[in-house]
A and B are shown apart, each in its own frame.
Chain A
Amino acid sequence: MTHVEQESLAKANTAKGTAVNAVPAGRRESAVMRFLRQWGTIIVLVVAAVGFSIASPYFATASNLNNILFSMIVSALVSMGLTWVVIAGSFDLSIGLTVTTSSILVAFLIPITGPWLAIVFALLAACLIGVVNGLLVTYGRLSGIVVTLGVMFVLDGINVFITGGYQVPVSYDETAFLYLGQGKLGIVGVPVIILVAVFIVALIAAARTRIGHYIAAVGDNPMAAFYSGINVYRWVILAFVLSALMSGIAGVIVTAISSSAQPVGGEGYLLEAFAAVFLGATVLGKGKPHLFGTLVGVFFLYMVDSGMNMVGFPFAARHIFQGLVLIVAVGANALLNREEVHLKFI
Protein backbone atom coordinates (compact mmCIF):
# COMPACT_ATOMS: atom_id res chain seq x y z
CA MET A 1 0.00 0.00 0.00
CA THR A 2 1.36 3.36 -0.90
CA HIS A 3 1.98 6.20 1.41
CA VAL A 4 -0.81 8.25 -0.04
CA GLU A 5 -3.28 5.40 0.25
CA GLN A 6 -2.37 4.85 3.86
CA GLU A 7 -2.92 8.46 4.61
CA SER A 8 -6.29 8.64 2.95
CA LEU A 9 -7.38 5.44 4.62
CA ALA A 10 -6.24 6.76 7.95
CA LYS A 11 -8.22 9.90 7.28
CA ALA A 12 -11.32 7.95 6.34
CA ASN A 13 -10.96 5.79 9.44
CA THR A 14 -10.62 8.68 11.84
CA ALA A 15 -13.52 10.43 10.21
CA LYS A 16 -15.56 7.28 10.59
CA GLY A 17 -15.06 7.20 14.35
CA THR A 18 -18.60 6.69 15.44
CA ALA A 19 -19.77 6.84 11.86
CA VAL A 20 -21.78 3.80 10.94
CA ASN A 21 -22.30 4.13 7.23
CA ALA A 22 -19.58 6.58 6.24
CA VAL A 23 -18.38 6.33 2.66
CA PRO A 24 -15.60 3.73 2.46
CA ALA A 25 -12.24 4.82 1.05
CA GLY A 26 -12.54 2.52 -1.94
CA ARG A 27 -15.06 -0.12 -2.85
CA ARG A 28 -13.60 -3.58 -2.75
CA GLU A 29 -14.99 -5.91 -5.34
CA SER A 30 -15.20 -9.59 -4.59
CA ALA A 31 -13.21 -11.95 -6.83
CA VAL A 32 -16.40 -13.63 -8.04
CA MET A 33 -17.93 -10.34 -9.10
CA ARG A 34 -14.80 -9.31 -10.90
CA PHE A 35 -14.64 -12.64 -12.70
CA LEU A 36 -18.29 -12.37 -13.73
CA ARG A 37 -17.86 -8.83 -14.95
CA GLN A 38 -14.85 -9.78 -17.08
CA TRP A 39 -16.02 -13.07 -18.44
CA GLY A 40 -19.81 -13.06 -18.01
CA THR A 41 -20.71 -12.26 -21.62
CA ILE A 42 -18.21 -14.76 -23.00
CA ILE A 43 -19.46 -17.43 -20.60
CA VAL A 44 -23.01 -16.87 -21.84
CA LEU A 45 -21.73 -17.11 -25.40
CA VAL A 46 -19.91 -20.38 -24.72
CA VAL A 47 -22.89 -21.84 -22.84
CA ALA A 48 -25.20 -20.96 -25.74
CA ALA A 49 -22.75 -22.51 -28.21
CA VAL A 50 -22.54 -25.70 -26.17
CA GLY A 51 -26.33 -25.81 -25.92
CA PHE A 52 -26.75 -25.48 -29.67
CA SER A 53 -24.07 -28.11 -30.28
CA ILE A 54 -25.95 -30.57 -28.12
CA ALA A 55 -29.30 -29.75 -29.72
CA SER A 56 -28.08 -29.94 -33.30
CA PRO A 57 -25.33 -32.14 -34.73
CA TYR A 58 -24.75 -29.65 -37.55
CA PHE A 59 -24.01 -26.67 -35.33
CA ALA A 60 -20.47 -27.34 -34.15
CA THR A 61 -18.95 -27.95 -37.57
CA ALA A 62 -16.28 -26.09 -39.49
CA SER A 63 -18.66 -25.40 -42.35
CA ASN A 64 -21.26 -23.88 -40.03
CA LEU A 65 -18.61 -21.70 -38.40
CA ASN A 66 -17.62 -20.61 -41.87
CA ASN A 67 -21.26 -19.84 -42.66
CA ILE A 68 -21.67 -17.76 -39.53
CA LEU A 69 -18.50 -15.81 -40.27
CA PHE A 70 -19.54 -15.26 -43.86
CA SER A 71 -22.99 -14.00 -42.94
CA MET A 72 -21.68 -11.56 -40.35
CA ILE A 73 -19.08 -9.79 -42.52
CA VAL A 74 -21.08 -6.71 -43.47
CA SER A 75 -22.57 -6.34 -40.03
CA ALA A 76 -19.15 -6.74 -38.41
CA LEU A 77 -17.57 -4.02 -40.54
CA VAL A 78 -20.43 -1.61 -39.88
CA SER A 79 -20.36 -2.36 -36.15
CA MET A 80 -16.61 -1.85 -35.93
CA GLY A 81 -17.06 1.51 -37.60
CA LEU A 82 -19.80 2.51 -35.19
CA THR A 83 -17.53 1.49 -32.31
CA TRP A 84 -15.19 4.40 -33.08
CA VAL A 85 -17.97 6.94 -32.96
CA VAL A 86 -19.47 5.57 -29.75
CA ILE A 87 -16.00 5.59 -28.15
CA ALA A 88 -15.69 9.23 -29.19
CA GLY A 89 -18.93 9.90 -27.31
CA SER A 90 -21.38 10.34 -30.17
CA PHE A 91 -23.82 8.39 -32.33
CA ASP A 92 -23.84 7.58 -36.02
CA LEU A 93 -27.19 6.62 -37.48
CA SER A 94 -26.03 7.10 -41.07
CA ILE A 95 -23.86 3.94 -41.21
CA GLY A 96 -26.53 1.65 -42.69
CA LEU A 97 -27.28 4.02 -45.54
CA THR A 98 -23.57 4.61 -46.10
CA VAL A 99 -23.28 0.89 -46.87
CA THR A 100 -25.99 1.23 -49.51
CA THR A 101 -24.50 4.39 -50.99
CA SER A 102 -21.04 2.90 -51.31
CA SER A 103 -22.48 -0.31 -52.71
CA ILE A 104 -24.44 1.58 -55.37
CA LEU A 105 -21.52 3.85 -56.22
CA VAL A 106 -19.12 0.99 -56.80
CA ALA A 107 -21.63 -0.90 -58.98
CA PHE A 108 -22.40 2.27 -60.87
CA LEU A 109 -18.76 3.21 -61.49
CA ILE A 110 -17.33 -0.16 -62.47
CA PRO A 111 -18.42 0.13 -66.12
CA ILE A 112 -17.07 3.70 -66.23
CA THR A 113 -13.77 3.63 -64.36
CA GLY A 114 -13.00 -0.04 -63.96
CA PRO A 115 -13.29 -1.88 -60.65
CA TRP A 116 -10.25 -0.57 -58.78
CA LEU A 117 -10.87 3.13 -59.30
CA ALA A 118 -14.55 2.48 -58.59
CA ILE A 119 -13.62 1.05 -55.21
CA VAL A 120 -11.39 4.06 -54.48
CA PHE A 121 -14.16 6.50 -55.39
CA ALA A 122 -16.76 4.62 -53.37
CA LEU A 123 -14.51 4.65 -50.31
CA LEU A 124 -13.69 8.35 -50.81
CA ALA A 125 -17.40 9.11 -51.02
CA ALA A 126 -17.93 7.21 -47.77
CA CYS A 127 -15.14 9.21 -46.11
CA LEU A 128 -16.78 12.40 -47.35
CA ILE A 129 -20.00 11.38 -45.59
CA GLY A 130 -17.92 10.91 -42.44
CA VAL A 131 -16.31 14.32 -42.82
CA VAL A 132 -19.69 15.99 -43.23
CA ASN A 133 -21.04 14.22 -40.15
CA GLY A 134 -17.93 15.11 -38.16
CA LEU A 135 -17.87 18.77 -39.18
CA LEU A 136 -21.54 19.27 -38.35
CA VAL A 137 -21.18 17.58 -34.97
CA THR A 138 -18.10 19.64 -34.00
CA TYR A 139 -17.89 23.02 -35.70
CA GLY A 140 -21.60 22.94 -36.55
CA ARG A 141 -22.45 22.31 -32.86
CA LEU A 142 -25.26 19.89 -33.74
CA SER A 143 -25.96 16.70 -31.84
CA GLY A 144 -24.66 13.48 -33.38
CA ILE A 145 -28.10 11.92 -33.35
CA VAL A 146 -29.69 14.79 -35.24
CA VAL A 147 -26.91 15.20 -37.80
CA THR A 148 -26.61 11.55 -38.70
CA LEU A 149 -30.37 11.08 -38.72
CA GLY A 150 -30.59 13.90 -41.25
CA VAL A 151 -27.70 12.51 -43.30
CA MET A 152 -29.39 9.11 -43.21
CA PHE A 153 -32.53 10.50 -44.85
CA VAL A 154 -30.54 12.49 -47.38
CA LEU A 155 -28.52 9.42 -48.39
CA ASP A 156 -31.67 7.36 -48.72
CA GLY A 157 -33.08 9.95 -51.08
CA ILE A 158 -29.87 10.10 -53.11
CA ASN A 159 -29.67 6.31 -53.35
CA VAL A 160 -33.18 5.93 -54.70
CA PHE A 161 -32.70 8.95 -56.94
CA ILE A 162 -29.55 7.73 -58.71
CA THR A 163 -30.78 4.17 -59.10
CA GLY A 164 -34.33 5.09 -59.97
CA GLY A 165 -35.31 2.42 -57.47
CA TYR A 166 -33.84 -0.43 -59.48
CA GLN A 167 -30.92 -2.64 -58.57
CA VAL A 168 -27.58 -1.91 -60.23
CA PRO A 169 -26.09 -5.12 -61.64
CA VAL A 170 -22.37 -5.88 -61.94
CA SER A 171 -21.32 -7.73 -65.09
CA TYR A 172 -20.27 -11.36 -64.61
CA ASP A 173 -17.14 -10.49 -66.61
CA GLU A 174 -15.77 -8.55 -63.65
CA THR A 175 -14.25 -11.70 -62.19
CA ALA A 176 -11.51 -9.92 -60.29
CA PHE A 177 -14.02 -7.68 -58.50
CA LEU A 178 -16.47 -10.48 -57.82
CA TYR A 179 -13.60 -12.55 -56.40
CA LEU A 180 -13.55 -10.06 -53.49
CA GLY A 181 -17.03 -11.19 -52.51
CA GLN A 182 -17.29 -14.72 -53.83
CA GLY A 183 -13.75 -16.07 -54.03
CA LYS A 184 -12.29 -18.56 -51.62
CA LEU A 185 -8.83 -19.25 -50.26
CA GLY A 186 -9.09 -22.91 -49.34
CA ILE A 187 -12.25 -23.18 -47.29
CA VAL A 188 -12.21 -19.54 -46.11
CA GLY A 189 -14.07 -16.92 -48.14
CA VAL A 190 -12.13 -13.86 -49.33
CA PRO A 191 -14.53 -11.43 -47.54
CA VAL A 192 -13.76 -13.18 -44.26
CA ILE A 193 -10.08 -12.54 -44.90
CA ILE A 194 -10.81 -8.88 -45.68
CA LEU A 195 -12.77 -8.63 -42.43
CA VAL A 196 -9.92 -10.13 -40.44
CA ALA A 197 -7.41 -7.80 -42.13
CA VAL A 198 -9.52 -4.70 -41.44
CA PHE A 199 -10.02 -5.84 -37.86
CA ILE A 200 -6.29 -6.28 -37.28
CA VAL A 201 -5.43 -2.88 -38.78
CA ALA A 202 -8.19 -1.22 -36.74
CA LEU A 203 -7.08 -2.99 -33.59
CA ILE A 204 -3.52 -1.74 -34.04
CA ALA A 205 -4.79 1.78 -34.70
CA ALA A 206 -6.90 1.60 -31.57
CA ALA A 207 -4.36 0.11 -29.21
CA ARG A 208 -1.02 1.27 -30.47
CA THR A 209 -1.43 4.69 -32.02
CA ARG A 210 -2.50 8.16 -31.06
CA ILE A 211 -5.73 7.61 -33.01
CA GLY A 212 -7.23 5.15 -30.56
CA HIS A 213 -5.68 6.84 -27.55
CA TYR A 214 -7.00 10.31 -28.30
CA ILE A 215 -10.42 9.20 -29.53
CA ALA A 216 -10.84 7.36 -26.23
CA ALA A 217 -9.65 10.38 -24.23
CA VAL A 218 -11.94 12.75 -26.10
CA GLY A 219 -14.93 10.46 -25.68
CA ASP A 220 -14.38 9.96 -21.97
CA ASN A 221 -13.63 13.50 -20.86
CA PRO A 222 -13.48 16.10 -23.63
CA MET A 223 -12.75 18.87 -21.16
CA ALA A 224 -9.66 17.12 -19.79
CA ALA A 225 -8.52 16.43 -23.34
CA PHE A 226 -9.07 20.06 -24.30
CA TYR A 227 -7.02 21.32 -21.38
CA SER A 228 -4.29 18.82 -22.24
CA GLY A 229 -3.82 20.61 -25.55
CA ILE A 230 -5.51 17.91 -27.66
CA ASN A 231 -7.37 19.07 -30.75
CA VAL A 232 -10.68 17.55 -29.68
CA TYR A 233 -12.62 18.32 -32.88
CA ARG A 234 -10.02 16.68 -35.08
CA TRP A 235 -10.36 13.34 -33.31
CA VAL A 236 -14.15 13.42 -33.24
CA ILE A 237 -14.19 14.08 -36.99
CA LEU A 238 -11.70 11.25 -37.52
CA ALA A 239 -13.96 8.87 -35.59
CA PHE A 240 -16.84 9.70 -37.94
CA VAL A 241 -14.57 9.24 -40.96
CA LEU A 242 -13.38 5.84 -39.73
CA SER A 243 -16.98 4.82 -39.11
CA ALA A 244 -18.05 5.85 -42.60
CA LEU A 245 -14.96 4.29 -44.17
CA MET A 246 -15.70 0.90 -42.60
CA SER A 247 -19.31 1.12 -43.77
CA GLY A 248 -17.94 2.01 -47.21
CA ILE A 249 -15.78 -1.12 -47.24
CA ALA A 250 -18.84 -3.10 -46.22
CA GLY A 251 -20.78 -1.59 -49.14
CA VAL A 252 -18.13 -2.64 -51.64
CA ILE A 253 -18.18 -6.18 -50.29
CA VAL A 254 -21.98 -6.30 -50.40
CA THR A 255 -21.87 -5.51 -54.10
CA ALA A 256 -19.13 -8.05 -54.71
CA ILE A 257 -21.01 -10.77 -52.85
CA SER A 258 -24.34 -10.32 -54.61
CA SER A 259 -23.02 -9.15 -58.03
CA SER A 260 -25.36 -6.19 -57.75
CA ALA A 261 -26.27 -3.18 -55.59
CA GLN A 262 -29.72 -2.81 -54.05
CA PRO A 263 -31.12 0.73 -53.67
CA VAL A 264 -32.60 -0.01 -50.24
CA GLY A 265 -32.04 -2.37 -47.33
CA GLY A 266 -28.90 -0.95 -45.72
CA GLU A 267 -30.80 0.47 -42.73
CA GLY A 268 -31.12 -3.02 -41.24
CA TYR A 269 -27.42 -3.01 -40.38
CA LEU A 270 -27.82 0.02 -38.15
CA LEU A 271 -29.76 -1.57 -35.31
CA GLU A 272 -27.68 -4.71 -35.43
CA ALA A 273 -24.56 -2.58 -35.15
CA PHE A 274 -25.84 -0.76 -32.07
CA ALA A 275 -26.75 -4.07 -30.43
CA ALA A 276 -23.29 -5.43 -31.19
CA VAL A 277 -21.46 -2.35 -29.90
CA PHE A 278 -23.31 -2.24 -26.59
CA LEU A 279 -23.13 -5.99 -26.12
CA GLY A 280 -19.44 -5.75 -26.96
CA ALA A 281 -18.90 -3.09 -24.31
CA THR A 282 -19.60 -5.73 -21.68
CA VAL A 283 -17.00 -8.15 -23.05
CA LEU A 284 -13.94 -8.45 -20.81
CA GLY A 285 -15.64 -6.12 -18.34
CA LYS A 286 -14.41 -2.96 -20.06
CA GLY A 287 -17.70 -1.16 -19.62
CA LYS A 288 -17.07 0.89 -22.75
CA PRO A 289 -17.10 -0.10 -26.40
CA HIS A 290 -14.00 -1.71 -27.88
CA LEU A 291 -13.31 -3.33 -31.23
CA PHE A 292 -12.72 -6.87 -30.01
CA GLY A 293 -15.88 -6.74 -27.92
CA THR A 294 -17.87 -5.48 -30.89
CA LEU A 295 -16.62 -8.39 -32.99
CA VAL A 296 -17.63 -10.82 -30.23
CA GLY A 297 -21.00 -9.06 -30.06
CA VAL A 298 -21.64 -9.47 -33.77
CA PHE A 299 -20.52 -13.09 -33.63
CA PHE A 300 -22.89 -13.70 -30.74
CA LEU A 301 -25.88 -12.28 -32.64
CA TYR A 302 -25.16 -14.32 -35.77
CA MET A 303 -24.30 -17.48 -33.85
CA VAL A 304 -27.62 -17.29 -32.03
CA ASP A 305 -29.34 -16.75 -35.38
CA SER A 306 -27.70 -19.80 -36.86
CA GLY A 307 -28.15 -22.00 -33.81
CA MET A 308 -31.80 -21.17 -33.24
CA ASN A 309 -32.44 -21.69 -36.93
CA MET A 310 -30.91 -25.17 -36.76
CA VAL A 311 -32.74 -26.12 -33.60
CA GLY A 312 -35.95 -24.99 -35.31
CA PHE A 313 -37.03 -21.88 -33.46
CA PRO A 314 -39.24 -19.56 -35.49
CA PHE A 315 -37.58 -16.42 -36.83
CA ALA A 316 -39.38 -14.15 -34.37
CA ALA A 317 -37.99 -16.04 -31.37
CA ARG A 318 -34.47 -15.14 -32.39
CA HIS A 319 -35.10 -11.42 -32.06
CA ILE A 320 -36.73 -11.89 -28.68
CA PHE A 321 -33.71 -13.84 -27.50
CA GLN A 322 -31.20 -11.34 -28.91
CA GLY A 323 -33.03 -8.42 -27.36
CA LEU A 324 -33.17 -10.07 -23.97
CA VAL A 325 -29.50 -11.01 -24.08
CA LEU A 326 -28.59 -7.42 -24.88
CA ILE A 327 -30.62 -6.01 -21.99
CA VAL A 328 -29.47 -8.64 -19.51
CA ALA A 329 -25.78 -8.33 -20.44
CA VAL A 330 -25.71 -4.54 -20.33
CA GLY A 331 -27.98 -4.50 -17.27
CA ALA A 332 -25.83 -6.98 -15.36
CA ASN A 333 -22.78 -4.90 -16.17
CA ALA A 334 -24.47 -1.76 -14.91
CA LEU A 335 -25.40 -3.55 -11.69
CA LEU A 336 -21.83 -4.70 -11.25
CA ASN A 337 -20.36 -1.21 -11.52
CA ARG A 338 -22.67 0.87 -9.45
CA GLU A 339 -22.33 4.62 -9.48
CA GLU A 340 -23.64 6.57 -6.56
CA VAL A 341 -26.32 8.46 -8.47
CA HIS A 342 -27.57 7.48 -11.89
CA LEU A 343 -29.10 10.39 -13.77
CA LYS A 344 -28.30 9.79 -17.42
CA PHE A 345 -31.01 8.34 -19.56
CA ILE A 346 -29.56 8.34 -23.05
Chain B
Amino acid sequence: MVLRLDEVSVSVETPDGDLTLLHPTTLTLSERRIALIGGNGSGKSTFARLLNGLVEPTTGRVTVDELDTVDDGAAVRRAVGFVFTDPGAQLVMPTCLEDVALSLRRSVKDRARRRREALDVLESIGLADKADVSVHALSGGQKQMLALAGVLATRPKVVVADEPTTLLDLRNTRAVADRLFSLTQQLVLVTHDLELVARCDRVLVIDDARVTFDGAPADAVAHYRASVDGAPSGPSA
Protein backbone atom coordinates (compact mmCIF):
# COMPACT_ATOMS: atom_id res chain seq x y z
CA MET B 1 0.00 0.00 0.00
CA VAL B 2 1.05 3.58 -0.46
CA LEU B 3 1.03 5.75 2.65
CA ARG B 4 1.32 9.39 1.75
CA LEU B 5 1.87 12.46 3.93
CA ASP B 6 1.29 15.71 2.13
CA GLU B 7 2.51 18.81 4.01
CA VAL B 8 1.34 17.20 7.24
CA SER B 9 1.93 18.93 10.55
CA VAL B 10 0.56 18.24 14.03
CA SER B 11 0.37 20.72 16.87
CA VAL B 12 -1.54 20.89 20.13
CA GLU B 13 -2.62 23.83 22.25
CA THR B 14 -0.96 24.17 25.65
CA PRO B 15 -1.24 26.89 28.31
CA ASP B 16 2.11 28.18 27.02
CA GLY B 17 0.95 28.30 23.38
CA ASP B 18 0.96 25.84 20.50
CA LEU B 19 3.28 22.87 20.80
CA THR B 20 4.41 21.34 17.51
CA LEU B 21 4.52 17.54 17.57
CA LEU B 22 5.39 17.22 13.89
CA HIS B 23 6.65 19.95 11.58
CA PRO B 24 5.32 20.04 7.97
CA THR B 25 6.30 16.74 6.38
CA THR B 26 5.80 15.42 2.87
CA LEU B 27 6.76 11.87 1.96
CA THR B 28 5.50 8.63 0.50
CA LEU B 29 5.97 5.22 2.12
CA SER B 30 5.57 2.14 -0.05
CA GLU B 31 8.38 -0.14 1.12
CA ARG B 32 7.50 -3.43 2.81
CA ARG B 33 9.45 -2.85 6.05
CA ILE B 34 9.82 0.70 7.34
CA ALA B 35 11.33 1.74 10.67
CA LEU B 36 10.95 5.00 12.58
CA ILE B 37 13.74 5.76 15.05
CA GLY B 38 14.56 8.73 17.25
CA GLY B 39 14.75 9.88 20.83
CA ASN B 40 11.97 9.89 23.40
CA GLY B 41 9.44 12.62 22.65
CA SER B 42 10.86 13.22 19.18
CA GLY B 43 7.53 12.70 17.38
CA LYS B 44 7.78 9.04 16.31
CA SER B 45 4.51 7.97 17.92
CA THR B 46 2.69 11.00 16.55
CA PHE B 47 3.95 10.09 13.08
CA ALA B 48 2.88 6.45 13.53
CA ARG B 49 -0.57 7.38 14.86
CA LEU B 50 -1.17 9.61 11.85
CA LEU B 51 -1.02 6.52 9.63
CA ASN B 52 -4.26 4.97 10.90
CA GLY B 53 -6.07 8.13 11.91
CA LEU B 54 -5.48 7.91 15.66
CA VAL B 55 -3.98 11.39 15.35
CA GLU B 56 -5.46 13.82 12.85
CA PRO B 57 -3.18 16.25 11.05
CA THR B 58 -3.45 19.90 12.03
CA THR B 59 -2.51 20.84 8.48
CA GLY B 60 -2.06 18.76 5.35
CA ARG B 61 -3.44 15.35 4.48
CA VAL B 62 -2.55 11.71 5.18
CA THR B 63 -3.76 9.08 2.72
CA VAL B 64 -3.56 5.30 2.62
CA ASP B 65 -3.99 4.17 -0.99
CA GLU B 66 -5.97 7.35 -1.66
CA LEU B 67 -8.18 6.87 1.44
CA ASP B 68 -8.05 9.99 3.61
CA THR B 69 -7.40 9.19 7.29
CA VAL B 70 -9.89 11.89 8.36
CA ASP B 71 -12.66 11.56 5.77
CA ASP B 72 -12.43 7.76 5.40
CA GLY B 73 -11.39 6.97 8.98
CA ALA B 74 -13.26 3.67 9.35
CA ALA B 75 -11.94 2.31 6.04
CA VAL B 76 -8.40 3.38 6.92
CA ARG B 77 -8.60 1.63 10.31
CA ARG B 78 -9.73 -1.55 8.56
CA ALA B 79 -6.68 -1.34 6.32
CA VAL B 80 -4.11 -0.24 8.90
CA GLY B 81 -3.77 -2.19 12.15
CA PHE B 82 -1.99 -0.66 15.13
CA VAL B 83 -0.03 -2.40 17.88
CA PHE B 84 0.68 -0.32 21.00
CA THR B 85 3.71 -0.40 23.30
CA ASP B 86 1.68 -1.53 26.31
CA PRO B 87 -0.61 -4.43 25.44
CA GLY B 88 -2.39 -3.97 28.78
CA ALA B 89 -4.51 -1.18 27.34
CA GLN B 90 -5.18 -3.09 24.14
CA LEU B 91 -6.52 -6.28 25.72
CA VAL B 92 -10.06 -5.52 26.84
CA MET B 93 -11.78 -8.91 27.14
CA PRO B 94 -11.32 -11.37 30.03
CA THR B 95 -9.91 -14.31 28.03
CA CYS B 96 -7.61 -14.61 25.01
CA LEU B 97 -10.25 -16.12 22.73
CA GLU B 98 -12.82 -13.48 23.65
CA ASP B 99 -10.36 -10.68 23.00
CA VAL B 100 -9.54 -11.87 19.49
CA ALA B 101 -13.24 -12.57 18.84
CA LEU B 102 -14.00 -8.94 19.71
CA SER B 103 -11.96 -7.84 16.69
CA LEU B 104 -14.05 -10.13 14.50
CA ARG B 105 -17.50 -9.03 15.72
CA ARG B 106 -17.90 -6.46 12.96
CA SER B 107 -16.93 -8.75 10.08
CA VAL B 108 -18.16 -12.17 11.25
CA LYS B 109 -21.73 -12.22 12.55
CA ASP B 110 -22.02 -15.97 13.14
CA ARG B 111 -20.70 -16.78 16.63
CA ALA B 112 -19.47 -20.30 15.87
CA ARG B 113 -17.55 -19.10 12.81
CA ARG B 114 -16.18 -16.16 14.79
CA ARG B 115 -14.91 -18.56 17.44
CA ARG B 116 -13.27 -20.79 14.81
CA GLU B 117 -11.56 -17.85 13.15
CA ALA B 118 -10.39 -16.46 16.50
CA LEU B 119 -8.92 -19.88 17.35
CA ASP B 120 -7.17 -19.96 13.97
CA VAL B 121 -5.58 -16.59 14.69
CA LEU B 122 -4.48 -17.75 18.16
CA GLU B 123 -3.06 -20.90 16.56
CA SER B 124 -1.08 -18.80 14.08
CA ILE B 125 0.72 -16.97 16.89
CA GLY B 126 1.19 -20.02 19.11
CA LEU B 127 -1.43 -19.17 21.74
CA ALA B 128 -4.12 -21.72 20.87
CA ASP B 129 -3.59 -23.49 24.21
CA LYS B 130 -4.30 -20.20 26.02
CA ALA B 131 -7.71 -19.65 24.40
CA ASP B 132 -9.67 -19.78 27.66
CA VAL B 133 -6.91 -18.36 29.85
CA SER B 134 -7.37 -14.91 31.45
CA VAL B 135 -5.45 -12.21 29.59
CA HIS B 136 -4.12 -11.10 32.98
CA ALA B 137 -2.43 -14.47 33.47
CA LEU B 138 -0.20 -14.09 30.40
CA SER B 139 3.45 -13.06 30.40
CA GLY B 140 4.43 -9.72 28.86
CA GLY B 141 5.51 -11.40 25.63
CA GLN B 142 2.31 -13.43 25.39
CA LYS B 143 0.25 -10.29 25.99
CA GLN B 144 2.02 -8.49 23.17
CA MET B 145 1.49 -11.52 20.90
CA LEU B 146 -2.19 -11.53 21.82
CA ALA B 147 -2.46 -7.80 21.11
CA LEU B 148 -0.92 -8.52 17.71
CA ALA B 149 -3.43 -11.35 17.21
CA GLY B 150 -6.28 -8.93 17.91
CA VAL B 151 -4.93 -6.70 15.16
CA LEU B 152 -4.23 -9.50 12.67
CA ALA B 153 -7.76 -10.87 13.12
CA THR B 154 -9.09 -7.83 11.27
CA ARG B 155 -6.83 -8.74 8.30
CA PRO B 156 -5.19 -5.35 7.86
CA LYS B 157 -3.00 -4.62 4.84
CA VAL B 158 -0.55 -2.57 6.91
CA VAL B 159 0.57 -3.13 10.51
CA VAL B 160 1.92 -0.15 12.43
CA ALA B 161 3.70 -1.19 15.64
CA ASP B 162 4.66 1.49 18.16
CA GLU B 163 7.63 0.21 20.16
CA PRO B 164 6.10 -3.27 20.52
CA THR B 165 9.21 -4.76 22.13
CA THR B 166 10.15 -1.97 24.53
CA LEU B 167 8.63 -3.68 27.59
CA LEU B 168 9.87 -7.17 26.72
CA ASP B 169 12.90 -9.26 27.64
CA LEU B 170 15.31 -10.51 24.99
CA ARG B 171 13.54 -13.83 24.37
CA ASN B 172 10.13 -12.20 23.98
CA THR B 173 11.58 -9.36 21.92
CA ARG B 174 12.91 -11.92 19.46
CA ALA B 175 9.62 -13.83 19.39
CA VAL B 176 7.51 -10.71 18.77
CA ALA B 177 9.99 -9.28 16.27
CA ASP B 178 10.22 -12.55 14.33
CA ARG B 179 6.43 -12.69 14.13
CA LEU B 180 6.23 -9.07 12.96
CA PHE B 181 8.90 -9.58 10.30
CA SER B 182 7.24 -12.77 9.08
CA LEU B 183 4.00 -10.94 8.31
CA THR B 184 2.96 -10.68 4.71
CA GLN B 185 1.56 -7.23 5.47
CA GLN B 186 3.47 -3.99 5.08
CA LEU B 187 5.10 -3.13 8.42
CA VAL B 188 5.81 0.29 9.91
CA LEU B 189 7.83 -0.21 13.08
CA VAL B 190 8.62 2.42 15.69
CA THR B 191 11.56 1.14 17.70
CA HIS B 192 14.65 1.87 19.75
CA ASP B 193 16.07 -1.56 18.89
CA LEU B 194 18.75 -0.98 16.28
CA GLU B 195 18.95 -4.74 15.52
CA LEU B 196 15.36 -4.58 14.28
CA VAL B 197 16.11 -1.43 12.30
CA ALA B 198 18.75 -3.35 10.35
CA ARG B 199 16.04 -5.75 9.10
CA CYS B 200 14.03 -2.93 7.48
CA ASP B 201 14.10 -1.62 3.90
CA ARG B 202 13.83 2.05 4.78
CA VAL B 203 14.41 4.02 7.95
CA LEU B 204 13.20 7.48 8.97
CA VAL B 205 15.06 9.25 11.76
CA ILE B 206 12.87 11.68 13.64
CA ASP B 207 14.32 14.34 15.87
CA ASP B 208 12.65 17.36 17.45
CA ALA B 209 9.39 16.76 15.53
CA ARG B 210 11.11 16.62 12.12
CA VAL B 211 12.20 13.82 9.81
CA THR B 212 15.94 14.49 9.79
CA PHE B 213 17.03 11.47 7.76
CA ASP B 214 15.35 9.11 5.32
CA GLY B 215 17.31 6.26 3.83
CA ALA B 216 18.88 2.84 4.22
CA PRO B 217 19.22 1.27 7.71
CA ALA B 218 23.03 1.50 8.02
CA ASP B 219 23.12 5.16 7.02
CA ALA B 220 20.11 5.99 9.20
CA VAL B 221 21.67 4.37 12.27
CA ALA B 222 24.94 6.20 11.63
CA HIS B 223 23.02 9.48 11.38
CA TYR B 224 21.08 8.70 14.56
CA ARG B 225 24.23 7.77 16.50
CA ALA B 226 25.94 10.95 15.32
CA SER B 227 23.01 13.08 16.42
CA VAL B 228 23.00 11.44 19.86
CA ASP B 229 26.81 11.79 20.20
CA GLY B 230 26.55 15.49 19.36
CA ALA B 231 23.70 16.18 21.77
CA PRO B 232 24.21 17.38 25.35
CA SER B 233 24.20 14.54 27.91
CA GLY B 234 21.24 13.86 30.24
CA PRO B 235 17.70 12.68 29.61
CA SER B 236 15.80 14.27 26.74
CA ALA B 237 12.31 15.73 27.01
Partners in one complex: no
Using a CB–CB distance below 8 Å, which chain A residues touch chain B? none
Using a CB–CB distance below 8 Å, which chain B residues touch chain A? none
